[in-house]
Structure 1
Amino acid sequence: MPLLPHLAMFITPLWIAVILGVLVGWAWKPKWASRLNLRPQNDTAFPHSTPSLSAREKDASAGASGPVTERDLLHLWKLVEEKDGGPAWVQMMDRSTPTMSYQAWRRDPESGPPQYRSRTVFEDASPELVRDFFWDDEYRLKWDDMLIYASTLEECDLTGAMMVHWVRKFPFFCSDREYVIGRRIWDAGQVYYCVTKGVPCPSMPRHNKPKRVDLYYSSWCIRAVKSRKDGQLTSCEVLLFHHEDMGIPWEIAKLGVRQGMWGAVKKFDPGLRTYQKERDSGVPLSRCACAAKINTKITADYLSSLENTTSDLLETENQDTSDKPAGRNIPKLLIVGGAIALACTLDQGLLTKAVIFGVARRFAKMGRRL
């Protein structure tokens, strides 16, 4: 349930300022500038790969091998229980509609991109329906207007684990992004731990366009909760934990999240309700929805014992991330130059001149976290 690609669409004016700044200061061309794609990107569909059963996932222990393992399950459980040892979460949003409520938090680790935590509650929805909804790539192509391609590379009939290939559409001044994602679901008594993360895939060659996103983590816990209407267990809670490095400067990405998060989130509820109607009408399940029903059964006690007895599983996704690359630090000259050029050419456009100069001043102070 990634949000950041959606939110990138809301920061187009800021990116225009950066691009103009690059043109103004091209004599000082930094390393990251050579990687910017300033022309529109028109991707054609990838040829469909022939899915194959992953031999690694055939292990009878259903967790000792494969790209997504019990290590990932434990990490997600710790995030849900707030036992991962990371920085404190700072609340960003609290919004609701008649059939959905949404809260979001952010934190900034010492290294790696910003991390996001959200809690979404859908009224009159079962955990199984919501699980299938977010797992169903075929249906996601209908409601997620930034997902332009999705295919299954590998799948396991025993555990339901999958490796999928996504291509997501980005604004015109960036190349599209591709993801190779490993994912798997554990069922702890109708509490579903759904792990999705970027995984290496040597057999999938890299291309200049679309750009591969290696650091990607988007996992959630789905469970029934009491309805705010009558107190019955007829609502579904989704706790999402997400971070990724899309190649966009993190300070700009954080601003985009604050400005555009709710607009992206509002798409979930109508998409879910349409999906529910289709399911009720007897529409056949897609391949991914069928895979969502194959998951590894565990107990709450098993999760606790996993924490207590397996010390080598204490590594987290945060420890795997590298320090912020220098390419993310935007030179002050480029930001200010871009803002001046934009302010002098725009006449009451998407941003007022005062806002443009304010943003320039803010991003010039890159040593301070937003």
Structure 2
Amino acid sequence: MAKADGFSEQEFRQACAELEAPAPAGKDWECLVETEGFHIYRLLDEQTGLFEYKAFGDFKNCPPALCADVYMDLRYRKQWDSYVKALYETEICGKMVVYWEVKYPFPMSNRDYVYIRDRRDLDLNGRKVHVILAKSFITPEIPTKNGIIRVKDYRQSLVIESDGKKGCKVSMFYRDNPGGMIPSWLVNWAAKNGVPGFLKDIEKACQNYHRNR
């Protein structure tokens, strides 16, 4: 049954299942890179020519609740994520909607996203798990802008739980269609360097969170 925020109970449970079987099973998932305690995989969608990504790993010195708090804090993200051009949350038709503009290297156009998100702290077989879901949301209240390409197909999930020590285990799924013409070298760079760099930035942001609030 779908909630008013646009996410169903099943979607949250499916995201949790990633922690139970972290190595992608079936299909043609490719292990793209192993770095800093993370394994990053990608899967090619032959119909669209686009990739889906999964990342599994741990942050050894970041408690799970803190990691979830940092990820949800949009104001703080503008401090630590250098690719953010604009980022804010506003209420539209009873939903909390996020607007996010991402910097792209010259001469390519920036991309922007309009999406809804939700966080739930669930009990999974006696373990506390933090689940954050996000997906595109179309609304005339936030129109497209000249010179910026609107990403209309975006979905992400983040699942976080304790590693039994001082840190947390993380499972992340990501898919979007950035539109326009993006060189293959940039796609490959983003997957092999951008994703690991983003994960490293999150871990650093967790360590500095309380002193920067």
TM over 0.5: yes
Given the two structures, how large is their TM-score scaled by the length of structure 1?
Answer: 0.50
Is residue 117–residue 241 contact of structure 1 (8 Å, CA) maintained in 2?
yes
The residue that corresponds to 2:177 in the other structure is 245
What SS class does the counterpart of residue 208 from structure 2 fall into? Answer: helix
Residues 1:204 and 2:142 are matched in the alignment: yes
The residue that corresponds to 2:62 in the other structure is 125
Higher share of residues assigned strand = 2
Q: Report how far residue 250 of structure 1 moved.
A: 7.5
The residue that corresponds to 2:40 in the other structure is 104
What SS class does the counterpart of residue 71 from structure 2 fall into? Answer: helix
Mapped partners of 2:33, 2:60: distance in 1: 19
Is residue 184–residue 195 contact of structure 1 (8 Å, CA) maintained in 2?
yes
**Where do 1:28-39 residues align within 5 Å?**
none
The residue that corresponds to 1:255 in the other structure is 188
Q: Report how far residue 201 of structure 1 moved.
A: 1.3
Pick the aligned partner of 2:205 from 271, 280, 286: 271
Pick the aligned partner of 1:182 from 116, 138, 156: 116
> Aligned pair in 2 of structure 1 residues 86, 251: CA closer, same or farther (>3 Å)?
farther
Mapped partners of 1:67, 1:78: distance in 2: 20
Given the two structures, how large is their TM-score scaled by the length of structure 2?
Answer: 0.82
Q: Report how far residue 78 of structure 1 moved.
A: 4.7
Pick the aligned partner of 1:89 from 25, 29, 32: 29
Q: Report how far residue 260 of structure 1 moved.
A: 2.2
> Aligned pair in 2 of structure 1 residues 223, 68: CA closer, same or farther (>3 Å)?
same
The residue that corresponds to 2:154 in the other structure is 216
Higher share of residues assigned helix = 1
Q: What CA RMSD, in Å, does the superposition of the two structures yield over aligned residues?
A: 2.9
Mapped partners of 2:20, 2:93: distance in 1: 29
Q: Report how far residue 177 of structure 1 moved.
A: 1.2
Mapped partners of 2:186, 2:13: distance in 1: 28
The residue that corresponds to 2:15 in the other structure is 76
The residue that corresponds to 1:38 in the other structure is none
Q: Report how far residue 215 of structure 1 moved.
A: 0.9
What SS class does the counterpart of residue 207 from structure 2 fall into? Answer: helix
* Aligned-pair identity (%): 23
What SS class does the counterpart of residue 42 from structure 2 fall into? Answer: strand
Mapped partners of 1:69, 1:163: distance in 2: 17
Is residue 86–residue 109 contact of structure 1 (8 Å, CA) maintained in 2?
no
Structure 1 portions without partners, runs of 5+: 1-60, 227-232, 284-370
Is residue 87–residue 109 contact of structure 1 (8 Å, CA) maintained in 2?
no
Q: Report how far residue 251 of structure 1 moved.
A: 4.0
